[in-house]
Amino acid sequence: MILNEEQILERMVDPDPSRRIIITPLINPEEQFGPTSVDLRLGTDFQVIKRPNITHLDFINDPKEISRNLARYTTPVKVGATEPFVLHPGEFALASTLEYIRVPLDLAARLEGRSTWGRLGLLIHATAGFVDPGFSGALTFELSNIGQVPMPLYPGVRISQICFFESKKTKLPYAEKKYSKYSGKTTTACSAYFKDPEYCRIRKALDS
């Protein structure tokens, strides 16, 4: 069952910390609450995907080499509160929510774009819209401009919304998963795909 606005608010002030939804800072509840969701705002730091001087990303290279290549593949950008980040047509960039989010163990969540921005051609995630029970930190945006003109995006603008779904209390919170990689982060984080166990096994097999 999806939670409505009253249920979300009740969870945000629940006296039991283990049941509490955290969305902070909640700057303007009147603007941010919808019937079954809460609007989230764009933060100030970005990772811009650029055309690098590398031929490809080899998923089974040494992790240190992959980290160096990822650093060449992305450019960190931080903008001021009233400074736009311009996303050009066809560009892809990572960003994060202004808000810190914590999801209780008996809820899961979905991060979705807002219709207002979708009608202009802004996609806020490629595949990663699901938020596990027990997640805490800033949520990552995978921004794409599929429109025809550059799009200035200002920090603090509501470009997304989060909704919550009831579930049975998990025994495996996201932060306690053996290979979770993004829990607790409060800034935009690049992909850490090379830490996945599949690639560890492949590298080990190749080394042997």
- Positions marked catalytic: 142
Per-residue three-class SS string for the chain? CECCHHHHHHHHCCCCHHHCCEEECCCCHHHHECCCCEEEEEEEEEEEECCCCCCCCCCCCCHHHHHHHHHHHEEEEECCCCCCEEECCCCEEEEEECCEEECCCCEEEEEEECHHHHCCCEECCCCCCEECCCCEECCEEEEEECCCCCEEECCCCEEEEEEEEECCCCCCCHHHCCCCCCCCCCCCCCCCHHHCHHHHHHHHHHHC
